[in-house]
């Protein structure tokens, strides 16, 4: 496993909810990242946002890690959930809320 893969793995497994995104939760740099942040904020979920624009190695590494070509990527309890479209569809169907509850994800304080 490459160093970047190990680092990504540590981030994914180190927090309950991790969002690899373009920009930061307070300043998203693309519409899809912004949509995903809005959904997580609306649900009141505590999550870690990781800016893939900080490093080309990270931006490519996360695509390889999940075998998923786009960013943002949402992880819950170490499992890949999906990108912006999947997160939005799950949210609209109530499935994202159910997943977070089932995984025991805490609300933000």
Reported as a single tens digit per residue, the pLDDT across 29-47 is 999 999 999 999 999 999 9
> Across-strand partners of 18?
48, 75
Please give the domain boundaries of the chain with CATH numbers for all domains: 3-101 (3.40.30.10)
Angle between helices 84-93 and 95-102 (to 10 degrees): 90
Position 51 pLDDT exceeds 70: yes
Is 80 exceeded by the pLDDT of residue 76? yes
Taking CA atoms, 46 is separated from 6, 25, 86, 88, 109, in Å, by: 23, 11, 19, 18, 8
pLDDT of 109 reads 65
Question: Structure pTM?
Answer: 0.95
CB-CB neighbours of 63 under 10 Å: 16
Q: CA–CA separation, 72 vs 77, rounded Å?
A: 17
């Amino acid at each position: 496993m490459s160093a970047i893969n190990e680092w990504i793995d540590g981030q994914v497994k180190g927090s309950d909810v991790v969002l690899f995104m373009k920009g930061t939760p307070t300043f998203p740099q693309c519409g899809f990242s912004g949509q995903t942040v809005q959904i997580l904020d609306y649900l009141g979920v505590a999550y870690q946002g990781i800016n893939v624009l900080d490093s080309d190695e990270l931006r490519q590494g996360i695509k390889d890690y999940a075998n998923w070509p786009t960013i943002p990527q949402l992880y819950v309890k170490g499992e890949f959930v999906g990108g912006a479209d999947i997160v939005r569809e799950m949210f609209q169907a109530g499935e994202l809320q159910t997943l977070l509850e089932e995984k025991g994800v805490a609300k933000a304080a």
